[in-house]
């Protein structure tokens, strides 16, 4: 069976995530210790104990989620006696999860991934003053309809509004200036969209307003050591697999302002033979999206000791 390991993005964080893994497995503890050392910050204490308000800050949530994902992977590898490339043919991650995927596949060192995500979180937060940007999930319409809604909202307000995430059929997220996003919700309602939800985020991710953050990441990634991954990564920006280090760096820069093409990424992996996905890290958001995108793909999540046991049996 062809498998993919996938890695969650922001919004999946919760105080206490990864704690049971850390208490049960030395391989997980080593990951949290290395991330703490890389950031010169006791991030693990924040992950395990909170407060939630600090963990939710973008600059903390991004490296924290990556740490939990890699902890889950390292536990599977150490307990199973194998490496990722022995069991998975592709990796992919949602937004910041793409960095987790690259660290999992050996394209980035764990410490470098943590530092890059800390910087990415800080740069994204600084790009737009709090309160000026917004994001909203439009539930029901397809990508093409939401693209038209976002364009009309941008034209009406002369402000930025675009598609940030194409998550699954019927779940598309828009991002941009607050007034433009509010206009998009109004247009959606006029067109019969039954539900739109403003998201509790501190900045409008994955839209043109994030260009200052993209510039900061371009500078940082130019100095980063990126290697060929052990298996191809299916990139958010293209929804296609790549193994070229220079291309990976360029796509990570583009990713800051571009649409996360998650629905297409899953369909691409299916077309390449993937029949089972394992979501490694906090929460079960991606497993839920996979099931909505294509019911034929098996999806499971690994974030707690009990999940490890189940996954190891399935992967043996």
Tokens matching residue 120? 């990415």
Tokens matching residue 298? 């098996």
Catalytic hit among 94, 196, 202, 206: 206
How many Å apart are CA 260 and CA 202, to the nearest integer?
A: 18
Catalytic hit among 95, 202, 265, 301: 95
Query: Please, which residues have CB within 8 angstroms of residue 151's CB and are 6 or more apart in sequence?
Result: 161
Is the CB of residue 174 less than 8 Å from the CB of residue 164? yes
What does the DSSP assignment read for 132-196? TEEEEEEESS-HHHHHHHHHHHHHHHTS-EEEEEEEETTEEEEEEEHHHHHHHHHHHHHTT--EE
Q: Is 206 a catalytic residue?
A: yes
How many Å apart are CA 229 and CA 112, to the nearest integer?
A: 15
Query: Please, which residues have CB within 8 angstroms of residue 95's CB and are 6 or more apart in sequence?
Result: 9, 10, 165, 205, 206, 236, 255, 260
Q: What is the length of the chain?
A: 316
Is the CB of residue 65 less than 8 Å from the CB of residue 126? no
Q: Active-site residue numbers?
A: 95, 206
């Amino acid at each position: 069976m062809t498998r993919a390991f996938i890695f969650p993005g922001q919004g999946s964080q919760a105080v206490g995530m990864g704690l049971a893994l850390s208490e049960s497995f030395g391989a997980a503890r080593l990951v949290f210790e290395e991330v703490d050392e890389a950031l010169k910050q006791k991030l693990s204490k924040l992950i395990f104990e909170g407060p939630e308000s600090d963990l939710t800050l973008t600059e903390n949530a991004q490296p924290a989620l990556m740490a939990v994902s890699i902890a889950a992977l390292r536990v599977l590898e150490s307990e199973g006696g194998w490496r990722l490339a022995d069991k998975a043919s592709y990796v992919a991650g949602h937004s910041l999860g793409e960095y987790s995927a690259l660290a999992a596949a050996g394209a980035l060192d764990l410490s470098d991934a943590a530092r890059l995500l800390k910087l990415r979180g800080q740069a994204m937060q600084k790009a737009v003053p709090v309160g000026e940007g917004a994001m909203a999930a439009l539930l029901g319409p397809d990508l093409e309809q939401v693209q038209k809604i976002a364009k009309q909202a941008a034209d009406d307000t002369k402000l930025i509004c675009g598609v940030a995430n194409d998550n699954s059929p019927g779940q598309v997220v828009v991002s941009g200036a607050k007034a433009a996003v509010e206009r998009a919700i109004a247009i959606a309602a006029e067109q019969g969209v039954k539900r739109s939800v403003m998201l509790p985020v501190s900045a409008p991710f994955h839209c043109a307003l994030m260009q200052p953050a993209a510039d900061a990441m371009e500078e940082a990634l130019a100095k980063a050591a990126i290697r060929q991954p052990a298996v191809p990564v299916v990139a958010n920006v293209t929804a296609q697999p790549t193994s070229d280090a220079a291309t990976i760096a360029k796509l990570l820069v583009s990713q800051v302002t571009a649409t996360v093409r998650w629905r297409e990424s899953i369909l691409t992996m299916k077309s390449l033979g993937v029949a089972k996905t394992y979501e490694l890290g906090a929460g079960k958001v991606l497993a839920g999206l996979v099931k909505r995108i294509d019911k034929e793909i098996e999806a499971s999540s690994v974030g707690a000791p009990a999940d490890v046991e189940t996954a190891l049996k399935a992967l043996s």
